[in-house]
Chains A and B, each alone.
Chain A
Amino acid sequence: MTCRERLAPGLWMLACGVCLLSNASGSAQSAQLVQVGVIPAAAEKVEVSGDHAYLVTGRTLAIFDISNPGTPKREGEYTFPDKIWGIEVVGSLVYAAVDKFGLGIVDVSNASAPQLRGSLKTPGQSKSIALTGSMAMVADHMSGVNFVDVSDPAKPVFLDDFFLDGYARAVAARGPIAAAVDTPTGLYVFDFSKPGKREPVAIRQSADRPGSVKMSDPNAASGLKVAVLLGGGSLQIYDIADPAAPAKAATLRTPGARAQDAALQGRLAFVADGASGLQVVDLEMPAKPRIIGEFKTTMPAHAVAATNTLVLVAVGAVEESPAGSSSAGKGQVLILEHRLRAQ
C-alpha cells in the first residue's frame, strides 16, 4: 500500500478549504495541492523514494518514514565528515555528493541504521550527483564532471572526467541521457546510449547562471523530453528531444523570482520559489510553460521533491547543530498531495 492509498478517503474534500489554487491561464487543468503532513525538521535538500523522505542538513542525511504522511516518523540518520551538496536515491542506496569527502554511498536498507557502503574522493568539492545505469556522474568544482563506476557500491571506481570551463554546479540523468551545468552559462548534454568517449553530444553556452538542472523522464506517458535549469531566479527550459541539438524553449520567471529547486513529475515541474512558496508549472508545451497552481508557504521554500502523488517542500531557515548530527532552525518539510483537476 502506498502512502497515497493510505490517505483518508475524505481528505480531498477537507483539503478544499486549505489549498490555494491558481489558474491564471485559464487552461483545461489546474494543479490542486493540499497539505497532508509535515516533517518538523529543517532541510537544505529533500528527496523522496517509495515511503521514505531523505532530508539533508549540513553533513547529515536523515531518513523519515512517510508511509503515513500525516504522521512522518524519523527512522535514522547518517553524518558525513563534510557538507552534503546533493543526493540521489536508487533503491536502498543513497548516493551523496559530499564536498571534499567526495562520493559517498550509504546503504539505507535498514533505515534506522544507515551504513556507508563505499566512497571515492573526487579532486575538489563534490557538488551534485546523478546515476545513469551503474555509473555515477559527480559534479566536481575543480575537475568538472567525474564518471564513476558504482556497479560495486563498496568499491566505486573512477572512470574518466570531463572538464567544464566554468564552475560545475549540477548534474542530472534520466536513463542514458544526462546533463551537466556550469556557471556562468553552460549546459552539457550527454547521450550514453551511444558508444564512445564520455563527452557531451552537445554544449550550449546560453544558460543564465544555472545552479541546478532537472531532467524529465523520457519514458513517462507525457513524452516530455526537457532539461529544466534553475538559475538567475528563473526556469530555463531546454528541449532535448534530440540530445545532440538541445534548444532553449522558454525562460519562465516565477512570481517569487527565487526559483531554487524543482522536481519534475510527468509534465509538471514543482518549483520551490522562495517567499512565493511552491509553484506548479505545466511543461506540456515546453515553449509555453504555464503556472497552473501554487501553494503559499509561511516560510520561504528552497527545496522540493515529488512522487506521482506527493510533493515535499522544504521551507524556512536551516542551521546545522555544532555536532553536525541533526538539523536545527525554524525550517520544516511540508508534505503535500497533488492532483490535476479539470476546469
Chain B
Amino acid sequence: MRRAVIVIVGLVLAAARTSATDQWPSFRGPDAGVVADDANLPDTWSSTENIVWKADLPGLSWSSPVVWDDHIIVTSAISAGQEATPEKGLYDPGDQHGKTRSTSLNRWMVYDIDFETGKIRWSRELAQKVPPTGRHVKNSFASETPVIDGERIYVYFGAIGLVAALDLTGQTVWTQQVPAHETYFDMGTASSPVLYKDRVYIVHDNHSDSFMAAFDKRTGAQIWKVKRDEDKTAATWSTPFIWENDRRTELIVSASGQVRSYDLDGRLLWQLSGMTFLTAPSPFARHGLLYFSSGYPGASPRPVYAVRPGATGDISLKPDATSNDYIAWYQPTLGTYQTSALVYGDYYYTLLDRGFLLCHDARTGKEIYGRQRISREAGGFTASPWAYNGKIFLLSEDGDTFVVQAGPEFKLLGKNSLDEMSLATPAVARGSVILRTQSKLYRIARR
C-alpha cells in the first residue's frame, strides 16, 4: 500500500514536472496566453517586490522569451552604432511613416539564461552584418520569438532571412538562408516561426515575393515553399498557428489580403477575405473555434472572426452577413492593431491598443461588456494579455501590468510597474512570469 502511494505520488510529481505550464515553448505559450492556475504565480510585483532576479539584455529585441526546463531563451540584435529610439504609444510618425534604416553592423544573438540564477549560460552570435532591410522605429531587427522543443531552439530573423537551429548547449545545428525582402513602408518583420512535429514553418509576407516555407527540424532541409499572394496587401506580423481540430490539422496564416488555411504540405484548404491592412494579431483556437482578427485603427473594417473546423474553399462572408456555415460569429469593429485576443474560460477578451478592455461570449460573440478604460494612467499596449488564477494581466508599453478580474464584470485589481518600455509578451512557466522590458529580463514569482 505504502509503495503504491509512493508510486502514485511519484507519477503525480512527474506529471507536474512535465505539465504545460512547466514549459513555454513559443510565442504566447502552449495555450494562447492561458496558464494553468498555480498559487505560486504572482499577482503583484514591482521593481523590488517579487523579483527573483533581473538580467540585463543587450541590444534591441521585442521577441518574447521562451522557456524549457531551466533554459530561458531570448534573442536580440545588437547594433554597433546609434539607432533610432523607439517611442511608446500609437502615434502618427509623419510623412516618413516611422521608417528607419541601420547603417551599422548588427549582431544577431541568441541567449540562454539560467532560470534559477538569471545568469547567461551561453550566447551565440548567428550573424553579423548591416541590415539589408529597414524597420519601423518601434520594431526591432529581432522581433520574431524563437521556439524550443527540449532538444533544439529554432530561430528566424526575417530582417536577414536567417533560419537556424541550436542545441541546448548553444551549438549551431543548422542554418538556412531565405530571402529577406523589403517590407511595407520598411516596417520590418515579426512573424514568429512555428514548430509542429518534425517541421519548422515560417511566413514572410512582403512587397515582392511573399512566401511560406517548411523545414526539417533536424537537418534544416527545406521541405516545401509556397508563394503567397500577399505582395500588394501590406505587412503581416501575425504568427502562424497550427490548428489541431477534430477534423484535421491545419496551418493557419492570418494576413491582410486573406486568411488562409493550409495542410501541413502547404496545400490550400480554405481562404477568407475581409481583413484590414496591417495584420499583427495571431490566430488561436479554443472551444472548438478558431479565432483571428486584424484592426489597424485607421482602416475599416477591424474584424474578428470565429471559425468552425472543416471548411473548404472561399468562406468569406457575403456583404452584410455576420455568419455562414463555417463562420460562427463576426464582429466588424472589434479587431486590435497589435495585441492578440485572449479566450479565458467562456470569454473572449479584447485588449485595444489604446487602453481599453472588452469582453464577449467566446462561443457566440455576444457582448458581455463594452469598452472599459483600463486606467487613465495606461498608455499604449502591444504585448498580448495572459491569464491565470482568475485574473487577466495586461502589460502596457510603459512597463505597467494592469491586473483585471476575469469574468463578466470589469474590475481593475491593481497595477504592477517595472518602469521601462515593454512590448514583448511575457512567458509564464514553472511558477514564474518571465517578463522582458527594453533592456532587462525579469523573473517574477511569489516570494
Contact = CB atoms under 8 A, between A and B. Distances in A.
Interface of A: 83, 100, 123-125, 127, 141-143, 163, 165-167, 183-185, 205
A142 B298 contact: no
A100 B356 CA distance: 21
B298 A184 contact: yes
Contact of A125 (B92, B354, B356): B92
A125 B98 CA distance: 15
B34 to A, nearest CB: 28
Given A166-B298, A184-B299, A142 B89 contact: yes
Contacts of B373: 163
Interface string B139-159: 000000000000000000000
A184 B380 CA distance: 20
23 contacts: A83-B94, A100-B91, A123-B379, A124-B89, A124-B90, A124-B354, A125-B91, A127-B92, A141-B90, A141-B91, A142-B91, A142-B355, A142-B379, A163-B354, A163-B356, A163-B371, A163-B373, A165-B297, A165-B333, A167-B297, A167-B298, A184-B299, A185-B300
Nearest to B94: A83
A183 B298 contact: yes
Given A142-B91, A142-B354, A165-B297, 16 more contacts: A100-B91, A123-B89, A124-B89, A124-B90, A124-B354, A141-B89, A141-B92, A142-B380, A143-B354, A163-B354, A163-B373, A166-B298, A166-B300, A167-B90, A183-B298, A184-B300
Contacts of A142: 89-91, 354-355, 379-380
Contacts of B298: 166-167, 183-184
Contacts of A163: 354, 356, 371, 373
Contacts of A123: 89, 379
A19 B90 CA distance: 45
Contacts of B354: 124, 142-143, 163
| Closest 3 A/B residue pairs (Cβ) | A184-B300, A183-B298, A167-B298
Contacts of B379: 123, 142
A121 B354 CA distance: 16
A100 B87 CA distance: 11
Contacts of A165: 297, 302, 333
A100 B379 CA distance: 13
A177 B299 CA distance: 27
B89 A166 contact: no
Interface string B286-325: 0000000000011110100000000000000000000000
Interface of B: 89-92, 94, 297-300, 302, 333, 354-356, 371, 373, 379-380
Contacts of B302: 165
A112 B373 CA distance: 44
A133 B356 CA distance: 30
A163 B89 CA distance: 15
A170 B28 CA distance: 37
Interface SS majority for chain B: loop
Given A142-B354, A142-B380, A143-B354, A166 B297 contact: yes
Interface SS majority for chain A: loop
A166 B335 CA distance: 12
Nearest to A83: B94
A296 to B, nearest CB: 26
A100 B93 CA distance: 11
Contacts of A167: 90, 92, 297-298
Interface centre among B89, B297, B379 (most CB of A within 10 A): B297
A74 to B, nearest CB: 26
Contacts of B333: 165
Contacts of B92: 125, 127, 141, 167
Contacts of A166: 297-298, 300
A124 B300 CA distance: 22
A105 B94 CA distance: 23
A83 B92 CA distance: 11
A163 B352 CA distance: 12
B354 to A, nearest CB: 5
Contacts of B371: 163
Interface centre among B94, B298, B302, B355 (most CB of A within 10 A): B298
Nearest to A100: B91
Nearest to A85: B92
Contacts of A184: 298-300
Given A165-B333, A184-B298, A185-B300, A124 B91 contact: yes
A247 to B, nearest CB: 20
B66 to A, nearest CB: 31
A185 B298 CA distance: 9
A145 B298 CA distance: 16
Contacts of A127: 92
Contacts of B380: 124, 142
A117 B90 CA distance: 28
A210 to B, nearest CB: 11
A78 to B, nearest CB: 21
A69 to B, nearest CB: 31
A79 B16 CA distance: 63
A141 B354 CA distance: 9
A184 B300 CA distance: 6
A48 B203 CA distance: 53
Nearest to B299: A184
A167 B354 CA distance: 10
